[in-house]
Structure 1
């Protein structure tokens, strides 16, 4: 009779065993990474160089304004209802309206003048003309303060009738230009916080352009006619030498008649305000607007724009060192893979993990996580510190929401991680450090430098930033492109052809493709 006890081995599912095996492989790869001091220091250096270059740039930028011969701190940028920086500069002819009401006016002409590049040095080259986004129409505005809420229906130089409100919103009406033979009737009605814009070709048949709600609009507002003209943008294309841009003076003059005002508004003369007018060193208005009123006809001249502000520093401006930091990440990621081949350790690693595809996958997780941490520290320090230093030096920084700033920081970290995985995969494909590093730099860093340094035509630069891994730099763009704002939307000016997450997705796609190819080849060829 046997006194022994039979014991059955515990059952472990293949799935559980697979998970445990990959977890052990992850721990092994993490141990390899952290025990090589050079890799850890180089990853820290990637974060450090990003921070130092950003701080150096921010402290070196200084902007001052003047009050006559005296330098003063520049005033804060006006902000709109959504918190974005805005241009709010126009000539306004208005009355106070209490409660509900409307204004109707016919626009019979738009003319103006534009300054072009000087044909003769020292001689101003001013010609008749109207820029495409010059605008004139009727408006309801909360107050005369720059950035206060408004709604307006208007005619434009080349974009037909539009209804715009609160700076960032734009709705298209009928196309076409205004003239004495083809005047445009405009109407804007207020019912509480709701404003509706209308247009008509004859003053009889009206079509709605749009309806908006201005939350919190006070009972008494300003209602009237306005004119504004942004500057004339000149872009010089230099072939292989890239492009440059300049914004020059432009103004518009619009003629209104058949003006009718309904609602509770004081009678008598119309008030006028040159909203946001710039004062020259002598204290007098520089390029002022104006009004000529005669027999019910109003001729209004204005300069400036009513739109989101662009062209100043942005929260990603201090991230100028990201490209250098990425080079350090690339070197670490490549050597993390190629060191196995150089030292002959790859065979030992593959013996410990016979399922070969797990090895590059585990290495990708480890190096991606390390790079993400480095990028998060780099951007998390550089963005808030750099923007604070810029503002302290008087340089305006376009404000963005907290979520947008967080997206820039986390997106920068994600770009570090995706770059590391891509470089690791190239290391597995080439098995040689120098070749893999060179390939990663040529595919990620070089296209970005060529596109943003104005050494390529804009179309070529945008093409590069669509099809190469350098598209990921779009994740750093914080301010969007506005179709209704005249600006040089080029990579050299910080505007990328792809949306932020779409650009990052291009790099991630390259990384996944390269890693998949590396796994495929590792399974088919000798270690």
Structure 2
């Protein structure tokens, strides 16, 4: 009895005729001559834009303002054009030319609403508890007028982050750590020399530490210098398997200042303003303000002096809101990419391909280059169109938008195109490994699309959502992130609000690593298995 062993078919064709450019041309010819594949890529681009348009069409922004008028959804803008929060109790005097202001803070206390609910008159269950918020601030400030969003620099003691120097809402530098008490006060100083502001802090008023400097270009000759206190909204977030919900209401901070020393050409009298508090009829407005007893100033403030970020109740849209249809486009691209190889297995044409090109690794590489390039172009067109068209619809419906630097917008669009390309290569490789379209498409959707939907739709609590978008191929969606996480702004910073745990290109790198591993596996199996 004789036993025979089947070996994979190998062509005897000369390798010299098997050039890589010839392979690329051949694979491109295959792709463009199959009408279904070309239509599939066009469909992927259209679906990406269409789903974004459906999302924009299904959203609205409306409410009734005072006396039946429309609400004002505008948000103050900072010197750099970014949306900001600029609310505080401010005691100030005009300062002309160079000068400095020095104070001592002996106390910083606060109150916040129980359960994050807005206290209401006659509601005994809604109470204010004692406690200062971590990013409550009290200190000295030099500001270009009292208009919200005007340029400023400040040195402030915070509730839980020590002394900080901040300027123009987005910049933050740490000073002396720790809290404050009558036995352990904090001395703060801010000096002006032209457009340059320098911040100092001290534990004893004798030995001073330089925190940092800020240059406020275009600062006028006369500015407002003084004391301020503010305290951000207290928010309680409840997590569950179905997502998360938040309750938030204003908190209060009260600071006691003494040893106030204003050097330079200053106005004679102090003036007091409550900035951004919603007016004297706003809830809790009666608690805000200041009182002076001799050389001691007590300020009670509420609000925040910081950049506005998504996820804190703002209706403003980001550039990635226009790209919510990307996941749908990826599904279509995945189907086309898997069929680009599985169709040859199903019809037996893979033998012809490998006969003409016996170097199987090169065949796989050529297919990957062609499908990757076509998918990149598809994603580029889809992302650019979605950003322009969907963004225009959102603006026409009255939604404010977060300003996005041009370079960031380009990175988002190009990064989305790269996401399409790498996903297509991954799908092609899985199709080569499994030889079946259904299995490969299902695997890609489960690995990339499903974790993304679970994370951004807030189906899961914030913790699991962050891990999904850190460890799975869905991390690549971070490449669409345009928003910035600020250390001085307390927010959830979850994928549902557009914040991913990895940096944009690092997130895409996770998907690239998965794709590289599957491509390597596919190359090995393609060489070892019979066609």
Q: TM-score, normalised by structure 1?
A: 0.92
User: What CA deviation, in whole Å up to 9, does each residue of 1:178-231 have, x standing for no partner?
Assistant: 122221111111111111111112212211111222222221111111111111
Q: Does 1:112 find its partner at 2:129?
A: no
Alpha-carbon distance, 1:442 to partner = 0.9
Alpha-carbon distance, 1:386 to partner = 1.8
Match for residue 97 of structure 1? Answer: 95
Q: Which residue of the other structure, out of 9, 30, 33, is the alignment partner of 1:32? A: 30
Answer whether contact 1:118 1:125 (CA < 8 A) is retained: no
Q: Distance in 1 between matches of 2:93 and 2:65?
A: 32
Q: Which residue of the other structure, out of 154, 174, 177, is the alignment partner of 2:176? A: 174
Of the structure 1 ranges 459-468 and 287-296, higher mean CA displacement relative to structure 2 is found in 287-296
Match for residue 441 of structure 2? Answer: 437
Answer whether contact 1:74 1:394 (CA < 8 A) is retained: no
SS at match of 2:21: helix
Match for residue 293 of structure 2? Answer: 294
Q: Distance in 2 between matches of 1:274 and 1:83?
A: 23
Match for residue 53 of structure 2? Answer: 55
Match for residue 163 of structure 1? Answer: 165
Match for residue 454 of structure 1? Answer: 458
Match for residue 219 of structure 2? Answer: 217
Q: Distance in 2 between matches of 1:461 and 1:323?
A: 16
Answer whether contact 1:63 1:74 (CA < 8 A) is retained: no
Of the structure 1 ranges 58-67 and 458-467, higher mean CA displacement relative to structure 2 is found in 58-67
Q: Does 1:379 find its partner at 2:383?
A: yes
Of the structure 1 ranges 387-396 and 417-426, higher mean CA displacement relative to structure 2 is found in 387-396
SS at match of 1:69: helix
Match for residue 207 of structure 1? Answer: 209
Answer whether contact 1:61 1:395 (CA < 8 A) is retained: no
What is the Cα-based RMSD across aligned positions, in Å? Answer: 2.0
User: What CA deviation, in whole Å up to 9, does each residue of 1:59-99 have, x standing for no partner?
Assistant: 33222354313232635322222232111121211111111
Map 1:35-46 → 2, pairs under 5 A: 35-46=33-44
Aligned residues: 507
Q: Distance in 2 between matches of 1:237 and 1:125?
A: 23
**Structure 1: any 5+ residue segments left out of the alignment?**
1-13
**Structure 2: any 5+ residue segments left out of the alignment?**
1-13, 311-315
Match for residue 273 of structure 2? Answer: 273
User: What CA deviation, in whole Å up to 9, does each residue of 1:430-465 have, x standing for no partner?
Assistant: 111111111111111111122223233322221121
SS at match of 1:198: strand
Q: Distance in 2 between matches of 1:246 and 1:400?
A: 29
Q: Which residue of the other structure, out of 129, 138, 143, is the alignment partner of 2:145? A: 143
Q: Distance in 1 between matches of 2:69 and 2:267?
A: 42
Q: Does 1:261 find its partner at 2:256?
A: no
Q: Distance in 2 between matches of 1:246 and 1:476?
A: 28
Answer whether contact 1:287 1:303 (CA < 8 A) is retained: no
Match for residue 82 of structure 1? Answer: 80
Q: Distance in 1 between matches of 2:377 and 2:417?
A: 7
Alpha-carbon spacing, 1:167–1:22, altered in 2? closer, same or farther (3 Å): same
Answer whether contact 1:83 1:400 (CA < 8 A) is retained: no
Q: Which residue of the other structure, out of 219, 228, 231, is the alignment partner of 1:229? A: 231
